[in-house]
A and B are shown apart, each in its own frame.
Chain A
Amino acid sequence: MDLAYSAEYDSYRQQVRDFLESNKDIWPKRTGLGRPSEEHKRWQALLIERGYTARTIPKEYGGHGGEPNILESRIAAEEFTRAGAPGGLAGQGVSMLVPTLLEMGTEEQKEQWISKTLSGEVLWCQGYSEPGAGSDLANLQTKATEDGDDFIINGQKIWTSTAHEADMIFCLVRTERDAPKHKGISYLLFSMDAPGIEVRPLTTMTGHAEFNEVFFTDVRVPQSSIVGPRGAGWLVANATLKHERGMLGDPNAASSRLSKIIALMREETIDGTRLMDNPILRDRLAKLQGEVLAMQFNGLRLLTCSLQGKSAGLARLIVKLKGCELNHQLAALAIDCYGELGILYNNSEHIRARGDWQRMYMFDLGLIIGGGTAQIQKNIIAERGLEMPREPKPAPADATGGQ
């Protein structure tokens, strides 16, 4: 047990701090997962040059071309968070497609897409879920039929964030109609400008359209746009889902929420008394603090396992389930602290924190459901972590999903 960093890492930390401090005047405004602004693209280029993002991606594909160093990456991430500085681009293209292409793409695909994706020039959306293929993703029915050198695509995708502004989509489609459901899927890359694509915004309970539905009617896509072999899309997609699950449930997000709630409970008053002096609210806060600390220390354990090249087993499998639930509970406490103020919304007079807590409380429920529902997570924990048996499969009469 040694929680100190060695001198070389302390000096790396100082370098990151100095970089952020001396470039403060060119920090871009945050643009979320959508299309980056010109200033954000310039920031991205600078971060790649310094190795604060795209660190291990080879130079010929527009990355930094450095050796992996888990601790330095972690230190850089910590310092960006601490300073409140915008990080590198984090859209689904950068976080999911790029790792997949590096692992499964052809040389031509890597050259064609990775650099443009990293730079922010090309924005991607992810076409996985369908109305009939949520937790049972492999049941997807969007079909691609051959026509000469092309596929003709028909079907519908849902939960497609950034589809309304994306240039390109990485999309799972059924190319082998007669194969078992996991073996009939292919992973395609195609333009969102192709004729026959319609994007409709999907408004959620937050009142915002964070997602879209995408409809494909006779969309023509060259067969060469496939990643990996035909019918192997399930394996290709699983390579990226692994990257997505790593992003959800980050304990640093919970920790920063907790600090905000501590501050609000010290500042807000009701009947002239600080909320912190209400023993019930204070106990709820302390209870959540205990959970946040446990998840943070669990994160330190995961980091150490990565550094030592060991599997963290259960400690990693639980992160999405526990982390997302914890974030939701934190938002719930913040709203209860505000009481009636906590129901104000839509820029109302007297609203606190711009209504962020209200929006997060609702959006978090989406995160508990999305990226593998809590129930699917529990199956994974039980089956992979505790080696419990899978649910017996029903008779295979309906193996491709029933049509």
Chain B
Amino acid sequence: MEFGLSEEQIMLQESVDRFLQDTCPLDRVRELALEGAVHDDTLWKGMAELGVTGLLVPEQFGGLGMSLLDAILVQEMLGRHVCPVAFTATSVLAAIALTRSENEPLKQRYLPAIAEGSLQVAVALSEQTGVRTGAGLTICDDKLTGNVLFALGAPNATLVLVSGPDNGMYAVESNASGFERQTLRSIDDTQVLAEFRFSDTPAQVLGTDDALADKLVDAGRVMLAADTLGAAQCMIEKAVEYAKERKQFNRVIGSFQAVKHMCAEMAAGLEPCRSLVWYAAHAFDAIPEESRLTACHAKAHCSEVGQFVARTSTEVHGGMGFTDLMGLHYWFKRIGFNRQLLGSPERAREDAAKAQGWI
């Protein structure tokens, strides 16, 4: 009985943290964000050198063959540093989808490329997490027509994975006929979001497992929760640090209970989120019957706490928190982005209700 991280996992997380401290300071994030939503290729190469791009790729395909519990530790750090790389799409969702796929040629072709960091994959799961007015997909003879919104992944992704209305997962190459992509601008320029359009576009079926698309939604939700955890943890630390330095009425504002209690409420809210995210990731890896339920809850609960932390930390910073100069808004927006993606908290809780037969 041990509910915690191993020495190796702690080392993995610390090494990613150090790497991002050096390569992804706020100035760099700002610089990139000025160009609009981007995926930073330089950073990605560095991550490939660390070996994390192939974290979930099986060893036989050149990866590390690790688990979602390891991946969330990386993502938490990416959230902490509001890092503009599409790790979840390529290294987690695509790696899981292809690993579980029965399509051998696809696996042989793409998994080694993910591991070595030379391939970007975009993933669209909106058929699973809510089809909005103005979107929708039809499938006829393994050809896709229509559009999907809110795809995750780098703009230069050469492979696209799409969930269909039939719960199937489809792979489309970005040079396929009738395929177009449109970047969608969001509140958060540290993450890329796209619309994919298909017109009789040839697609390959990943496999016969009906549950694969749902598994990807589960993994994606846990990853978003981990990202929010990292971003929110950073916002709390920034608030506490600011409150210990900023003086008004001849005192540091952190000595006023009104301010101190805001910080305590943030910490009290976020601390249990860490255990929830760990558990949900572990359930994805090892306790399949609890995986969907805990993934939904991790996503929903971290989103709620994240929202509280994002606004409260901004308030602790007073007027400065509201400025571009302070840059706190990058974290605020990242948390806001994660909250809605792959299903809002309400949607995730409704999925949790269904998963346990409440309705």
Contact = CB atoms under 8 A, between A and B. Distances in A.
Contacts of A378: 257, 260-261, 264-265, 268
A3 B3 contact: yes
Interface stretch (B80-88, B107-115, B207-215, B293-301): B293-301
A276 interface: yes
A1 B8 CA distance: 12
Contacts of B171: none
B353 A282 contact: yes
B264 A290 contact: no
A2 interface: yes
A227 interface: no
A388 interface: yes
B279 interface: yes
Interface of A is mostly: helix
A355 B233 CA distance: 41
Interface in B1-38: 1-6
B264 A381 contact: yes
B2 A1 contact: yes
Interface string A269-308: 0000000110100110111011101110110110111011
B346 interface: yes
A266 B271 CA distance: 32
B276 interface: yes
B263 interface: yes
Interface size, B (range): 35 or more
B226 interface: no
B240 interface: yes
A290 B297 contact: yes
B222 to A, nearest CB: 13
Given A2-B2, A290-B301, A276 B359 contact: yes
B251 interface: yes
Interface residues of A, number: 54
A350 interface: no
Interface in A233-291: 262, 265-266, 276-277, 279, 282-283, 285-287, 289-291
Interface string B198-230: 000000000000000000000000000000000
A77 to B, nearest CB: 14
B275 interface: yes
A392 B254 CA distance: 11
A315 interface: yes
A307 B276 CA distance: 20
B216 to A, nearest CB: 21
A314 B359 CA distance: 37
A297 B3 contact: yes
Contacts of B236: 386
B229 to A, nearest CB: 11
Contact of B5 (A1, A5, A298): A1
16 contacts: A1-B286, A3-B1, A4-B1, A285-B358, A286-B300, A286-B352, A290-B300, A294-B276, A295-B272, A301-B4, A304-B3, A315-B271, A385-B267, A386-B236, A386-B264, A389-B252
For the complex of A and B, the 8 pairs showing the least CB-CB separation, nearest first, are: A297-B275, A294-B272, A286-B349, A378-B264, A300-B3, A290-B301, A381-B264, A290-B297
